[in-house]
Amino acid sequence: MRYKLTLEYDGSRFHGFQIQDDFPTIQGELEKALIRLTFLQIRVYGAGRTDQGVHAFGQVAHIDLDKEWEPLKLKFGLNHYLRKTKISVLNIEKVEDTFHARFGAKEKQYLYRIINRQAPLTLDFGRAWHVGYVLDADIMHQGAQMLVGHHDFSSFRDSDCQAKSPFKTITKASVTRQGEEIRIIFEGKSFLHHQVRNMVGTLKLLGHGMFSLKDIQTILEAKDRKKAGPTAPPEGLYLMWIDYT
Amino acid sequence: MRYKLTLEYDGSRFHGFQIQDDFPTIQGELEKALIRLTFLQIRVYGAGRTDQGVHAFGQVAHIDLDKEWEPLKLKFGLNHYLRKTKISVLNIEKVEDTFHARFGAKEKQYLYRIINRQAPLTLDFGRAWHVGYVLDADIMHQGAQMLVGHHDFSSFRDSDCQAKSPFKTITKASVTRQGEEIRIIFEGKSFLHHQVRNMVGTLKLLGHGMFSLKDIQTILEAKDRKKAGPTAPPEGLYLMWIDYT
Kindly state whether residues A160 and A184 are assigned to the same domain.
yes
Query: Which residues does chain B have within 8 Å of residue A73's beta carbon, measured at their own beta carbons?
Result: none
Position B162 scores a pLDDT of 87
Query: Which residues does chain A have within 8 Å of residue B178's beta carbon, measured at their own beta carbons?
Result: none
DSSP A213: H
Residue B176 C-alpha, separation from nearest chain A C-alpha, in angstroms: 19
Position B161 scores a pLDDT of 87
> In which element (H, E) is residue A26 found?
helix A26-38
Nearest residue in B to A92, CA atom: B119
Kindly state whether residues A164 and A72 are assigned to the same domain.
no
- CATH of residue B171's domain is 3.30.70.660
Kindly state whether residues A154 and A198 are assigned to the same domain.
yes
In a domain, B102, yes or no: no
pLDDT in tens, A79-119: 999 998 999 999 999 999 999 999 999 999 999 999 999 99
Query: Which residues does chain A have within 8 Å of residue B90's beta carbon, measured at their own beta carbons?
Result: 117, 119
Q: How many domains does chain B have?
A: 2
Domain that holds residue A226: 107-243
Q: Does B115 touch chain A (CB under 8 A)?
A: no
Position A160 scores a pLDDT of 86
Task: Nearest by CB to A83, from B87, B118, B120: name it.
Answer: B120
Q: Does A83 touch chain B (CB under 8 A)?
A: yes
Q: Does B81 touch chain A (CB under 8 A)?
A: no
Query: Which residues does chain A have within 8 Å of residue B121's beta carbon, measured at their own beta carbons?
Result: 88
SS (H, E, C) B133-150: CCCCHHHHHHHHHCCCEE
Kindly state whether residues A88 and A168 are assigned to the same domain.
no
Position B50 scores a pLDDT of 86
Per-residue pLDDT of chain B (245 residues; tens, 9 = 90+): 999 999 999 999 899 999 998 999 999 999 999 999 999 999 999 998 888 999 999 999 999 999 999 999 999 999 999 998 999 999 999 999 999 999 999 999 999 999 999 999 999 999 999 999 999 999 999 999 999 999 999 999 998 888 899 999 999 999 999 999 999 999 999 999 999 999 999 999 999 999 999 999 999 999 999 999 999 999 999 999 999 99
Annotated catalytic residue A124:
no
Q: Does A226 touch chain B (CB under 8 A)?
A: no
Position A49 scores a pLDDT of 84
